[in-house]
Amino acid sequence: MKYADVQRMHEAGLITGEQRQQIIDHFKLKEDDSRFLAIISIIGAILVVSGVILLIASNWEDIPRGVKIAIGLLLMLGAHAGGWQLREVGRKYRKSGEALHFIGSGLFLATSP
C-alpha cells in the first residue's frame, strides 16, 4: 500500500481523516518521493536549455531583434505554462512540471538580448 493510495481512499470518502492517519502511522507510509525521476528531469531540462542556447547562439546575429524577443517570450511562457499544468492542475507529474519551470527560467536567460 502506498501513501497515494490511502490519500485517494480518503478523497473518495471511503475512510475518514482519522482512519487515514492511523493507516499512515501503522504502515509508516511516507509521501511518494522519487529522487531518480527528479534527477532525470533536471538533467533533461539542462540538456534542453543547452540545446536552445546553442541554437540561438549560432544564429544570434542573423535573427532580428523583434523575433528574438517574441521567440524568447513564447518559449519561456510555453515552458512555464506546461510546468504549471503538470505541477498544479494535473498534480500527477510534479517533478516533470518542476523541470519545465526550470527550462522556462533557462530559456529566459538564454534569450535575453
Show me where the domains of the chain are located: 1-32, 35-111
Of 43, 47, 4, 45, give the one whose Cα is nearest residue 27: 4
Distances from the Cα of 106 to the Cαs of 40, 79, 89, 109, in angstroms?
17, 10, 22, 5
Q: What is the pLDDT along the chain (113 residues), one digit of tens a residue?
A: 788 888 889 999 999 999 988 998 888 887 766 678 778 878 888 898 888 888 877 877 888 888 888 888 888 899 889 889 888 887 777 778 888 888 888 888 777 66
CA distance 43 to 110: 17
Q: What is the pTM of this model?
A: 0.57
CA distance 45 to 102: 7
